[in-house]
Structure formats: structure tokens, C-alpha cells
Amino acid sequence: MDLFSFTIAGLMVYAALAVFFIGMTYRICHWFSTPKASIRLGMFPKPKTRSGRWLKMLKDTILFPQALDVDPTMWFMAIAFHVAGLLIFFGHLRLIKEFTPIVSALGSKGMDTLAFVTGGTFGIVITVVVIYYLFRRFASPYKDISVPEDYLLLILILLVITMGNHLRFFGDVHVADYRAYVQSVLLFRPSFDAALAHSSIRWSLVAHVFLANILLMYFPFSKLTHTVGAFLANLVRSD
């Protein structure tokens, strides 16, 4: 591994993960250490039981059905974004450890096809949604309420995805080589194996990892903390 790749795809990954986890912990602790208002100002109708409130909170957070009524396009796009994002995240777990049961069911050829089709599809879906998000921000009234953070995050996400798509659609590196890299990072000995080191798309990988690092490091300080905060805020709704 050359020094530049080692810095970005090695050292920086640790820094990014550290900032992300410490930052999120700090953020969440900060929320919990701030006293609740001594008033229950939930919105009706609300469930009467505690478990009912939690179920409604989960429904409001995961499906936000009310938004479907008032802005179906945005609802659909938001669902598509989050579902695609989650599946892409899970797909990446294959780089830590192969999903052996699926491989034994489909065979290794079948597994590759599945990964290519799902990864490819969701990679495209999420690209389309992010481009929609971005264009929406340029139109009134959305541009009037948007701040640079909004554009910055969307552009970052778009770049991460674009690099990812580039690796998937134009890359000549097999999953085993990526897994070797990820595992080397996990073992604190970051390295590229020969196939990756000599591949033409190595720079795309470094760029992909670099941008993802930036995104991770900014995450705890951005509105992306809604990934956790939305659950808490929606619980207040049913309080």
C-alpha cells in the first residue's frame, strides 16, 4: 500500500470511526443529560398505554404515514432513500464476512449475481433520489429554507455513491480482494492485496473511502443525527 492510500484508506478510517462513535455518543448523552420539559405536550390521538406509545413512535419514525398524505412524492423518495441506504449498508457487511448461508443456497456464482443486481439497483435508486433531493433544494420555497449544510451533505453523499457505483459498474476487482482490504483494516494492518494494488480503480476506492470518512466525521455534528433523534422526538409526540 502506498503512503497516500495508507493515510486515507487506513489511518483516516480509524480517525473517522473514532470521531463518528465518540461524536454520536456525545450527542446522545447530551440529549439525555438535558432535562425534559416538565409538561406532557403530546399530540392527540395518542395511545393510552406505554407499549402503544412506543409502537406508535416506531411507526411514526419508520413509516411517517402522515407525510404520505401531504407530500407523497417526498414521502416516496424519503422511503426509497432510506431503504436503499440501509440495504447498501447491509451489502457492505459482506466485505467484513461473507453471508455464507446465502452463498450455500445460491452458489458463489449466484451470490455474485445477486450482489450485482441488488447493489447495482439500489446504487442507481439512491443516486436518483439524491439528485432529486438536490434539485428540490434549488427550487422555491425549499431553497429559501436551505442552508449550506444541506447542499454540502447532499453533495458528499452523491459523491460517495458515485464512487461506489463506479467501483461496482466499472471495477475489475473481485469481492474477495475488497474483503481482504476491509479485514486488514479491522486487524489494524491496512493493506491492499496485489489485485487491488495494481487495479486501475484503486483511486476510486481511495476516493470512495475518503469521502465516506468525511461524511462519517461530519455526521454527529449535522442534521443526520435525526437517525437517532427522530425516535426520541417522535416519542414526545405520543407523550
Among residues 61, 118, 110, 112, the alpha carbon closest in space to that of 88 is found at: 118
- Total binding residues toward other proteins, as defined by CB under 8 A: 50
In the complex, what is the shortest distance from the CB of residue 111 to other proteins, in angstroms, rounded to a whole number? 35
In the complex, what is the shortest distance from the CB of residue 27 to other proteins, in angstroms, rounded to a whole number? 8
Piece of the chain touching other proteins by CB under 8 A; list 68-76, 106-114, 160-168, 199-207: 68-76
**Chosen residue from 98, 112, 150, 193 binding other proteins by CB under 8 A:** 150
Piece of the chain touching other proteins by CB under 8 A; list 71-79, 161-169, 177-185, 195-203: 71-79
CB 212 within 8 A of CB 160: yes
Measured from the CB atom, the residue of 48 and 50 that comes closer to other proteins is 48
In the complex, what is the shortest distance from the CB of residue 11 to other proteins, in angstroms, rounded to a whole number? 23
Q: Cα separation of 182 and 187, whole Å?
A: 9
Measured from the CB atom, the residue of 144 and 188 that comes closer to other proteins is 144
49 contacts other proteins (rule: CB under 8 A): no
Measured from the CB atom, the residue of 204 and 234 that comes closer to other proteins is 234
Instruction: Tell me, residue by residue from 177 to 206, as one string, x for binding to other proteins by CB under 8 A and - for no binding.
Output: ------------------------------
Measured from the CB atom, the residue of 180 and 236 that comes closer to other proteins is 236
43 contacts other proteins (rule: CB under 8 A): yes
CB 175 within 8 A of CB 95: yes
Measured from the CB atom, the residue of 60 and 177 that comes closer to other proteins is 60
State how far the alpha carbon of 28 is from the alpha carbons of 23, 132, 190, in Å.
Answer: 9, 30, 31
Q: Cα separation of 124 and 106, whole Å?
A: 24
109 contacts other proteins (rule: CB under 8 A): no
In the complex, what is the shortest distance from the CB of residue 34 to other proteins, in angstroms, rounded to a whole number? 5
Residues lying near other proteins in the complex (CB under 8 A) are found at 27, 30-32, 34-41, 43-46, 60-61, 64, 66-67, 69-71, 74-75, 78, 140-142, 144-150, 152, 221-223, 225-226, 229-230, 232-234, 236-237
